[in-house]
Amino acid sequence: MADTDANDLDFTKPPRRTGGYNPILARMCFESFGTEEAIPEGQFFFAEKEMSSKMYLLIEGEVNLRRGSRSLDVFKRDEIFGEMAAITGEARSASAVARTPCRVLSLDPRQLRRAIEQTPEFGLMLLNVMITRLRVTVSMLSMTRSLPDWKGAAETRVFDDRLLAVLTRALEGRATLHYPARKTIMKENEGGVFMYVVLKGRAAISVGSQVVERVGPGGVFGVMALIDQSTRAASAIAETDCVLLPVNRNDLLDVVKEKPDIAMSLLRAVADRLRHMDTGYK
């Protein structure tokens, strides 16, 4: 990974920098659903604080990512950048300018949704890449004891009532899990094959002794270990009596094939968590 602060990370890198990225799959999806563009040297792809929503795959040239006058990184062939804004719809956190004449393939939010609908593995790949970044951020903040405090913040929710109903119908027959208040649901550094959707109640998510999130109905936790098949990055305790819907990897892939909005909601949730963690650097 490039030598940047966590709040500089508005980009995706191949395996030498960020795990989980498959350039062949990325190229296939961008070519199938995206738009080719030629960008002359010195032209901006997007500017810091700008409201724009395309993400890009670089097929020729070099692109400089910068904040203000500070250079953050350089993108080269087969690398993706700008995906955070395409996922979240929020303003750009940095600028991207062509260092040389460039050819790119771009995806706007509509094209991104189509790519995930037709190739759900692409959505899981993006989730994997962002989760890797989130793991690095959590690890760095833990070492410096800079994890943001969730005190006073609202419960998080990933799925609205419509998507929650879609998910529960799709997984009809899957037994729900019931946890009484103060019961441990999962532990940091343990293996995990499920993510959990909160149907009732509230769970507290902690790294070490620091509560970093509270998850209410429609919220999700445990997605990191499900996607990247690594150990749990956090612990979860039921703060109230909870009813949870467990979801395994095959369940998720099947649901995403039918409802790409599920993948988009998860991508936005991981992006929001990354932005929240980034406050620990400020």
Q: Quote the pLDDT of residue 113.
A: 87
Contact 45, 75 (CB under 8 A): no
Extract the tokens encoding 103.
């050819």
Q: Which helix H or strand E contains 29, and what residues bound it? A: helix 23-33
Could you tell me the mean pLDDT of each successive run of 10 residues in the chain, 282 residues long? 33 44 92 96 94 93 91 90 86 92 95 88 86 82 77 84 91 92 95 93 92 93 87 94 94 83 88 71 42
d(CA 120, CA 44): 31
Identify the three-state secondary structure at position 261: helix
Maximal C-alpha separation, the chain: 60
**DSSP state for residue 191 in the 8-state scheme:** -
Looking at domain 120-281, its CATH class is mainly beta
- Please report the beta strands in the chain, taking only residues with DSSP state E, as ranges in sequence order: 11-12, 35-39, 44-46, 55-60, 63-67, 70-75, 80-81, 95-98, 102-107, 177-179, 184-186, 195-200, 203-207, 210-215, 220-221, 235-238, 242-247
Q: Quote the pLDDT of residue 59.
A: 96
Neighbours of 211 (CB within 10 A): 19
**Tokens 């080719």 sit at which residue?**
36
Extract the tokens encoding 12.
């995706």
Would you kindly state where each structural domain of the chain is located, as residue ranges?
Answer: 6-118, 120-281
At CA 134, angle to CA 88 and CA 261, rounded to 5? 35
Instruction: Provide the CA 140 distance to its chain's centre, in angstroms.
Output: 18
Q: Which residues pair with 235 in a beta bridge?
A: 206
d(CA 157, CA 177): 19
Global pTM value: 0.78
Looking at domain 6-118, its CATH class is mainly beta
Extract the tokens encoding 125.
């790949």
Q: Smallest Cα–Cα separation from 219: which of 161, 264, 180, 175?
A: 161
Q: Quote the pLDDT of residue 143.
A: 82
Q: Smallest Cα–Cα separation from 193: which of 240, 264, 239, 251?
A: 251
Backbone angles phi, psi at 122, to 5 degrees: -65, -40
At CA 118, angle to CA 113 and CA 119, rounded to 5? 95
Contact 230, 224 (CB under 8 A): yes
d(CA 274, CA 135): 9
d(CA 116, CA 53): 16
Q: Quote the pLDDT of residue 77.
A: 94
Q: Quote the pLDDT of residue 152.
A: 67
Q: Which helix H or strand E contains 123, and what residues bound it? A: helix 120-143
Same fold, 6-118 and 120-281: yes
Q: Which residues pair with 202 in a beta bridge?
A: none
Contacts of 281 (CB under 8 A, 6+ apart): 5, 6, 7, 141, 146
